[in-house]
A = this chain, B = another copy of it.
């Protein structure tokens, strides 16, 4: 480390950017050209071990040579220059691209997919898909009425029905209005914005380590499932039927909160019972760092979820869906671009590298090593950190207070390690899939030093 972070050059650029837009979230400016692998280099020349990876959206580290090849291959040039309106005019290779990228790693039982450009439009269109399917079920085969056609355009019933999406306290699903209505993390994300008053259920508050509190945790999950069921009944009785439940396999932004497979199995059962749909939001958990491409597959669901949403590490946004969720008309799950073929091309490269280099296994192996080291620190500093948790390299640990967390994160950064915060007092690691044991060692050393000094 050459300077503390943000260094003088970053500060100067933050000053300049401040004339253009709000910079209160800006951490530092980055020399992307000279960032490599797990190291992000800031404009002041600091090489920082990046365990946050652009809010968990970098899979293969910085400037991976295979991505460079993909961009530089003259055969691919046209993909980066011409952006199609994919819903009208897809490119010659589009079906191949989808098959070689997204469909080649589809969650078990799901073989349909649609691309979008980010996690928010993915969830928004997932919601539209379930609203359509739920109303098809209610209509039982009758056609839209003229009144529905007239009223939907004016945002009133019956064309615009008061259907709802059930979400969880501390869940995050995006920042556009429907996604944000299903989001319940921090007040700055929501203050002063109108939202849909949809049902919000409790997420189980499990005790860690999970294997030591099996009975208590089961009771807590049963309590939450019962609450979900009663909310679904309550909203149906007010004619605001719950068309879908949406959940993250691991509540990430909310604080890396886990549940057991039993909870997700229970949610799926409740969906079946109420003829609702089950949307699993893998925007943060998907893409491999848990040691699995899609973390919900660890839940042993008897049937696939109805929809699995992705973005971030998947490079393209979008969602997988079942036959039942297929729109019956054109242009309804739609926008101008519907994703970006150049991102899908990069995703194909990523998928190939993951397979060739067995990176899911790397995440398991490195993750086990990293977890062991973190547990040792937990035993050494029990008054400062606890609840070390997480599959693969998708790790988290709680600290004492929000202030303690922010201080530790600052100190880590000034000593050369970038991590993320989540929840009130959680530190999350969102490493790339190419993290090695020696990177884990560097983090563990520096973390130990910071804890020692606190």
A177→B177 contact, CB < 8 A: yes
| Set of chain B residues within 8 Å of A22, measured between Cβ atoms | 114, 326-330, 332-333
B32→A57 contact, CB < 8 A: no
Residue interface mask A133-176, B partner, CB < 8 A = 1: 01100000000100011101111100111111000000000111
| Set of chain B residues within 8 Å of A135, measured between Cβ atoms | 192
| Set of chain B residues within 8 Å of A113, measured between Cβ atoms | 20-21
Chain B: CB-nearest residue to A174: B335
CA–CA, A25 and B85, complex, Å: 11
A85→B55 contact, CB < 8 A: yes
A336-B57 contact in complex given A26-B90, A153-B190, C-beta closer than 8 Å: yes
CA–CA, A57 and B337, complex, Å: 9
- Considering only residues 73-127 of chain A, those with a C-beta below 8 Å from chain B are 75, 77-85, 87-92, 94-95, 98-99, 103, 111-114, 117-121, 124-125, 127
A331→B24 contact, CB < 8 A: yes
CA–CA, A31 and B93, complex, Å: 9
Contact check: which of B63, B75, B192 meets A161 at CB < 8 Å? Answer: B192
Chain B: CB-nearest residue to A312: B336
A197→B31 contact, CB < 8 A: no
A94→B29 contact, CB < 8 A: yes
B118→A335 contact, CB < 8 A: yes
Contact check: which of B16, B23, B32 meets A79 at CB < 8 Å? Answer: B32
CA–CA, A23 and B89, complex, Å: 10
Number of interface residues of A (CB under 8 A): 125
CA–CA, A307 and B390, complex, Å: 43
Which residue of A22, A31, A196, A312 has the most chain B CB atoms within 10 A of its CB atom? A22
Which residue of A57, A121, A184 has the most chain B CB atoms within 10 A of its CB atom? A121
CA–CA, A321 and B121, complex, Å: 23
CA–CA, A192 and B71, complex, Å: 41
Let me know if A35 is at the binding interface, CB within 8 A: yes
Let me know if A273 is at the binding interface, CB within 8 A: no
B77→A193 contact, CB < 8 A: no
CA–CA, A21 and B20, complex, Å: 41
B54→A152 contact, CB < 8 A: no
A91→B162 contact, CB < 8 A: no
B184→A154 contact, CB < 8 A: yes
Contact check: which of B54, B127, B164, B193 meets A128 at CB < 8 Å? Answer: B193
Contact check: which of B20, B25, B103, B328 meets A20 at CB < 8 Å? Answer: B103
B20→A95 contact, CB < 8 A: yes
CA–CA, A60 and B71, complex, Å: 21
| Set of chain B residues within 8 Å of A117, measured between Cβ atoms | 117-118
Let me know if A132 is at the binding interface, CB within 8 A: yes
- Considering only residues 319-354 of chain A, those with a C-beta below 8 Å from chain B are 326-337, 342, 346
| Set of chain B residues within 8 Å of A28, measured between Cβ atoms | 89
CA–CA, A121 and B326, complex, Å: 24
The distance from the CB of A78 to the nearest CB of chain B, in whole angstroms, is 5
- Considering only residues 15-51 of chain A, those with a C-beta below 8 Å from chain B are 16-17, 19-33, 35, 40, 43
Let me know if A302 is at the binding interface, CB within 8 A: no
| Set of chain B residues within 8 Å of A13, measured between Cβ atoms | 90, 92, 94-95
The distance from the CB of A140 to the nearest CB of chain B, in whole angstroms, is 14
Let me know if A198 is at the binding interface, CB within 8 A: yes
A187→B152 contact, CB < 8 A: yes
Q: Can you list 8 A-B contacts (CB < 8 A)? A: A13-B94, A29-B89, A63-B82, A117-B118, A153-B184, A156-B197, A160-B192, A160-B195
6 residue pairs, one from A and one from B, having the closest CB atoms: A24-B330, A25-B330, A177-B178, A155-B195, A177-B177, A176-B176
